Every structure is written in structure tokens, then in C-alpha cells.
């Protein structure tokens, strides 16, 4: 049998649609497309194609259907759960060439963007307008808005502003059968089941988004950004609970433990205290008139909860530097170990002290080092397990520790993913989170959009299977 799932006819047909310079099929050229930020499992697509228009995407999908090959959309590949891993190979539809900001309408508070627009481009385009696009994942300098829609991305400011789905009014998509359909649009809502809400976060398994109407949010008049320094993790988590309990909803409430603070300090020399057990990055924003009172209340609460000190960002430059540190925290982890695996559990906010204790115990049990930087206000944990992917025994211990952490999150009434998605990484955990009936109904929902199962096969649902399309060339996995 041929070592490819796709025929040379398919490749020449793809070339006919988009041109030879927008089709990659040589093994060496495809290496970069064999995984996203989840590097444990790798698999190359057989061909990657870079459409520039919705019509090209539709033509590609029609072609894949004619040839019965699987196809998977991809943005910048910054996702962390293998959402754009091409399970079964096939055609990867890379949307990064669809990168126009089509319209900005400030009166009606929306923008229309193509899926390959990088999140921060929209923020840059809106600078000075008095508006911004609220979802700001840490990867916003690279991730695309199409990818944000697929994964329902969050970020540090979701506590007050919500996640991607709260900011998507509608989109145009090419469906699994090649049809182009508009869901929602420039208005705040429509009638009937909320298909926009139902499709956001479907991880590329139901539709390929080709144009998005996003809501624009008024810039706050001002910010107060604080850094609470704590000698114990308990005191820090207690402060979080007290701040929210006092009726204050900060724009962001992030926690970093000692391990990550040390790495950040080495990378950025911000002046973080190296001996603190935990640091809280707290930001309130909104009308100037209300900010000083909120800041004073937060300083007071942190102090009462045992904070060693509460520093305040003196000006915009200092605030920007603090946020740069936070958003590049994952990069700084490179200073601690050659590889790392970031988890994405969620617990009710009040269970944070418990889960952080358990994470420490689980790390000790499996002899792996774990550092934490996470969206504490949402209860959304990002334990980072440090390891060396060349050491098979370590990889096994990392996976075991990660699994145990996520099971603890479930036991605490939480979830196994707050913003990264299920992808391929967490498929097995779906059975622990949902009943067989829940998963069966989810399978039915997928079937309504993707009846052949050839759009992003093998994702999200344990029952999804590989839709009869077998892997023909060998995949790659990290040493196990």
C-alpha cells in the first residue's frame, strides 16, 4: 500500500484551487504541522494547504469529501491539547493566510475579522479608538482569532470580561459538507437555539470558521494593578476568596508560586521577591471614580489575610511590564527544565487551598517538580510539570502526575479544562467527567454537523473513533 492517505490527484487538485505555492506536501516541509503546543503526540498531515478565501476553503472541503480523506483546520498551532493534531493524517487546512480585518464598526461595537487574524493585531488596530477586543490569552501575540473561536479561549481577564464565546456575535463557516453558512452576525442575538454559542469551543470538529463578528468592549478609564506578596499559599488563596466575597470583581486575579516567580525574575529582573511563597497579580479596572476605593479595599484585605506587602504598579510602563512577565511566564519556564507540560484544571474558587496542597503532594509522590501560574480568580489552575522529554521514565511520571491532578479537580467538583480544550490529550478524561449518556448525546450533536466524521476525526469524544479512516503512515510520540 502507498505510504500516503492522499493521492497525487488530490494534491494536483489542491494546487489547482490555491496555487502550487500554497500547498505543502514534502515530509520535511510538514514537520512544523505535526503538532501544536501539546508535543507528546505527533502526527504529520499528508498535505497542508493555505487558502486565502472562503471559496477556496469550501472547494478544499468538497475535494476532501470526494477523495474521502480526513481534513483538519489549523490556526497558529498554539493550542495546548492537540486540537489541531491531524489524527489519521489527511489534509490540513491552515487558515493563517486569511488575515484581513474586514470591518471595524465602533457605533455598533463589533469588528469582522478573518480567522487567521492574530489576536493582538485586532487590539493594535483598535488602539486609540476607545475600544478593544477583550479575550487576551497569554499567547495573544501568536494565536489567531479563528483558533480562539475553536477553543473558546480565555486569558487572564476572563474573570470580569468572560471568555471568547461572550465576545463572538457570529461567524461564517465552511461546514463538513462544504457548504458555507452564516451563524449569527452583527446583532447581539438571534432567534432559535444559540448555534453560535454551541459551535464556539467545538475545537474544529463541527465547522471551519472563515469570518468572525466579534464584540468590541469599551476601554476602561483606568487601572489599578497590584502585586500581593505572601509567605504562604494559604494566605494568598484566602485573600482571593475574601476579595471576591467583598463584592469586588477584579479584571484579573492571577497567582504565581515561588517556583515560577524565581524563573520570571531570572528572565525579566522585575524585582519579584524570590523568597515569597506566592504572589498575586491583582488588577481592577473601570471608571476612575471607583478605582481608588477598590484598590484600598484589596490592599486592606490582602494585609488582613497576612500579605507581607502589597505593591502597586506606579505607572502604565510598570503595569505593562508586569503583564509582560505574566504572559511570558510559560516561556520563562524554559529556564527551569528542558520540557514542561501545562495542565488546565478548574476547581470552584473556594477549593483552591485544597487543590494546591494536593498538587504539591502529587508532585512529591511522582517525583516531578511542579510550578504554578494560573487564573486564580476563576479557579483555573495551570500546574506546570517540569521534565525532560528524552527520559522515558520521567515522561511516564509526568503523565501520571498530570492525570492525578486532573482527577483531583474532578473530585473537587471542577473540570479538566478551563480554556485549553480536550483535543486528543484529555479524551480519556471525558469519561470521568461525563456519563456515557452525556457523551452519546455529544456524539449526536457532532453527527448533526459532521456526519461522516472526517472533519477533525479523533478529537474531544472518546467514542469519536477514527471514522474508519486508518492511519497509514506512522505517527510520532514522545519517548514513553
Partner 1 sequence: MSLLPLTKTNTSDDEADVCAAIAEASAARTPVYAIGGGTSLSFGCLPSEAGLGVRTTSLAKLIDYPARDMTITVQAGMTYAELSRLLAQENQRLPIDPPQAEQATIGGILATNTSGPRRYGCGTLRDYLIGLSAVDGRGTLFHAGGRVVKNVAGYDFCRLLIGSLGSLAVVTQATIKVIPIPERSLMLACALRSANEMETMLADLVASPIMPSAVQVLCGKSVQKVFADRWGDVRAVLAVGLEGTQAEVEWMRTSLESRWGQKRLAIERVENERGEAVWRHLSEFPAADDPALVLKAVLMPSRVADFCDLVHSLAPEAELLADGRGHVFVKFLAPLDDAAGLLIRHLHPAAIQLGGRLAVVHNAEPQGWTRQMIWGGRTEADDFVDAIRRQFDPHNILNPGRWG
Choose between 67 and 426: whose C-beta lies nearer to partner 1. 426
Residue 47 grid cell: 498535505
Closest among 111, 114, 70 to 96, alpha carbons compared? 114
Residue 102 touches partner 1, criterion: CB under 8 A: no
- Tell me the site size for partner 1, rule CB under 8 A: 89
The residues in 298-337 that bind partner 1, with binding defined as CB under 8 A, are none
Distance between CA atoms of residues 200 and 4, nearest Å: 32
Min separation Cβ 474 and partner 1, Å: 30
Give the whole-angstrom CA distance, residue 165 versus residue 202: 11
The reply on whether position 10 binds partner 1 by CB under 8 A is no
Alpha-carbon gap, residue 238 to 429, rounded angstroms: 30
Q: Identify the CA nearest to 273 among candidates 222, 317, 311, 312.
A: 311
Nearer to partner 1, 279 or 412 (CB): 412
414 is a site residue for partner 1 (CB under 8 A): yes
DSSP letter assigned to residue 351: G
Cβ at position 369, least distance to partner 1 in Å: 26
Supply the minimum distance, in Å, between the C-beta of residue 350 and partner 1. 5
Instruction: Round to whole Å and give the CA distance between 430 and 357.
Output: 24
Alpha helix stretches (DSSP H) within 212-315: 233-245, 258-268, 288-304
Positions 13 through 52 that interact with partner 1 (CB under 8 A)? none
Separation of alpha carbons 60 and 367, rounded Å: 48
Please report how close the Cβ of residue 210 comes to partner 1 at its closest, in angstroms.
14
8 A C-beta contact, residue 380 and residue 343: no
420 binds partner 1 (CB under 8 A): yes
210 binds partner 1 (CB under 8 A): no
Does 178 sit near partner 1 (CB under 8 A)?
no
Q: Which of 65, 190, 312, 360 binds partner 1 (CB under 8 A)?
A: 190
Q: Is 460 in the site for partner 1 (CB under 8 A)?
A: yes
Its sign, for the CA torsion 415, 417, 423, 425, is: negative
Please, where are the H alpha helices in 7-155?
8-18, 27-30, 54-67, 119-126, 145-151
- Using DSSP's 3-state secondary structure scheme, residue 23 falls into strand
> Quick one: which of 8, 12, 182, 477 contacts partner 1 (CB under 8 A)?
182
Q: In this chain, which stretch among 18-26, 264-272, 312-320, 422-430 interacts with partner 1, using CB under 8 A?
A: 422-430
139/202 with CB nearer partner 1: 202
Is 365 among the residues that bind partner 1 (CB under 8 A)?
no
| CA–CA dist 266, 278 (Å, integer) | 16
Binding-site string for partner 1 from residue 248 to residue 287, where x marks contact by CB under 8 A and - marks none: xx------------------------------------xx
Could you tell me if 118 and 143 are in contact, meaning their C-beta atoms sit under 8 angstroms apart?
yes
Tell me the residue ranges of DSSP E strands in 357-399.
Answer: 369-374, 383-387
Footprint of partner 1 on 46-85 (CB under 8 A): none
- Considering the complex, what minimum distance in angstroms separates the CB of residue 156 from partner 1? 12
Q: Does 431 bind partner 1 (CB under 8 A)?
A: no
Q: Output the smallest distance, CB 347 to partner 1, in A.
A: 7
Assign residue 86 a region (left: φ > 0; alpha: ψ between -120 and 50; beta: otherwise): beta
d(CA 129, CA 475) in angstroms, rounded, equals 47
Q: For Cα atoms 390, 333, 251, give the angle at the middle one, nearest 5 degrees.
A: 140
Residue closer to partner 1, measured from CB, 45 or 383: 383
Scanning 131-287, the segments in alpha helix (DSSP H) are: 145-151, 158-161, 195-199, 233-245, 258-268
Residue 336 beta carbon to partner 1: minimum distance, rounded to whole angstroms = 26
Binding pattern for the stretch 114-153 against partner 1, x by CB under 8 A and - elsewhere: ----------------x--------------------xx-
**Segment near partner 1 (CB under 8 A); pick from 23-31, 141-149, 162-170, 314-322:** 162-170
- Please identify which residue in 255, 282, 416, 455 interacts with partner 1, judged by CB under 8 A: 416
Q: Does 447 bind partner 1 (CB under 8 A)?
A: yes
Which residue, 218 or 304, is less far from partner 1 as judged by CB? 218
Amino acid at each position: 500500500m502507498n505510504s500516503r492517505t492522499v493521492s497525487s490527484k488530490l494534491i494536483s487538485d489542491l494546487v489547482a484551487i490555491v496555487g502550487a505555492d500554497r500547498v505543502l506536501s514534502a515530509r520535511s516541509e510538514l514537520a512544523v504541522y505535526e503538532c501544536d503546543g501539546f508535543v507528546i503526540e505527533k502526527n504529520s498531515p499528508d498535505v497542508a494547504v493555505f487558502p486565502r478565501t472562503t471559496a477556496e476553503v469550501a472547494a478544499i472541503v468538497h475535494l476532501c469529501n470526494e477523495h474521502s480523506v480526513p481534513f483538519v483546520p489549523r490556526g497558529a498551532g498554539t493550542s495546548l491539547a492537540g486540537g489541531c493534531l491531524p489524527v489519521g493524517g489527511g489534509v490540513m487546512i491552515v487558515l493563517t493566510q486569511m488575515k484581513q480585518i474586514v470591518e471595524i464598526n465602533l457605533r455598533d461595537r463589533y469588528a469582522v475579522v478573518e480567522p487567521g487574524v492574530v489576536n493582538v493585531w485586532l487590539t493594535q488596530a483598535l488602539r486609540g479608538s476607545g475600544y478593544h477586543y477583550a479575550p487576551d490569552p497569554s499567547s495573544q501575540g501568536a494565536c489567531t482569532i479563528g483558533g480562539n473561536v475553536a477553543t473558546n479561549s480565555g486569558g487572564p481577564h476572563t474573570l470580569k470580561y468572560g471568555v471568547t464565546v461572550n465576545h463572538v456575535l457570529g461567524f461564517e463557516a465552511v461546514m463538513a459538507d462544504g457548504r458555507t453558512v452564516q451563524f449569527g452576525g452583527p446583532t447581539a442575538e438571534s432567534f432559535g437555539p444559540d448555534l453560535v454559542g454551541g459551535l464556539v469551543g467545538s475545537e474544529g470538529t463541527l465547522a471551519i470558521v472563515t469570518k468572525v463578528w466579534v464584540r468590541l468592549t469599551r476601554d476602561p478609564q483606568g487601572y489599578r494593578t497590584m502585586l500581593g506578596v505572601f509567605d504562604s499559599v494559604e494566605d494568598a488563596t484566602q485573600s482571593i476568596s475574601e476579595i471576591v466575597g467583598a463584592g469586588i470583581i477584579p479584571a484579573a486575579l492571577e497567582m504565581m508560586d515561588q517556583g515560577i516567580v524565581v524563573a520570571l525574575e531570572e528572565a525579566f529582573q522585575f524585582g519579584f521577591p524570590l523568597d515569597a511563597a506566592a504572589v498575586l497579580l491583582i488588577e481592577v479596572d473601570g471608571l476612575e471614580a471607583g478605582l481608588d476605593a477598590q484598590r484600598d479595599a484589596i490592599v486592606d484585605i490582602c494585609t488582613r489575610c497576612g500579605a507581607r506587602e502589597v505593591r502597586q504598579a506606579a505607572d502604565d510602563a510598570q503595569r505593562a511590564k508586569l503583564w509582560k512577565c505574566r504572559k511570558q511566564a510559560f516561556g520563562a519556564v524554559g529556564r527551569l527544565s528542558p520540557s514542561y507540560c501545562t495542565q488546565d484544571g478548574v476547581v470552584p474558587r473556594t477549593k483552591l487551598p485544597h487543590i494546591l496542597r494536593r498538587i504539591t503532594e502529587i508532585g512529591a509522590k511522582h517525583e516531578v517538580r511542579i510550578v504554578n501560574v494560573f487564573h486564580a480568580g476563576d479557579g483555573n489552575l495551570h500546574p506546570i510539570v517540569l521534565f525532560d522529554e528524552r527520559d522515558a521514565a520521567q515522561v511516564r511520571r509526568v503523565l501520571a502526575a498530570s492525570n492525578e491532578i486532573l482527577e483531583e479537580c474532578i473530585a473537587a467538583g471542577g473540570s479538566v479544562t478551563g480554556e485549553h480544550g480536550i483535543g486528543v490529550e484529555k479524551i480519556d478524561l471525558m469519561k470521568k467527567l461525563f456519563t456515557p449518556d452525556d457523551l452519546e448525546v455529544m456524539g449526536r450533536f457532532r453527527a448533526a454537523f459532521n456526519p461522516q466524521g472526517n472533519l477533525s476525526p479523533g478529537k474531544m469524544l472518546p467514542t469519536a473513533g477514527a471514522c474508519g479512516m486508518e492511519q497509514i503512515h506512522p505517527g510520532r510520540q514522545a519517548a514513553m
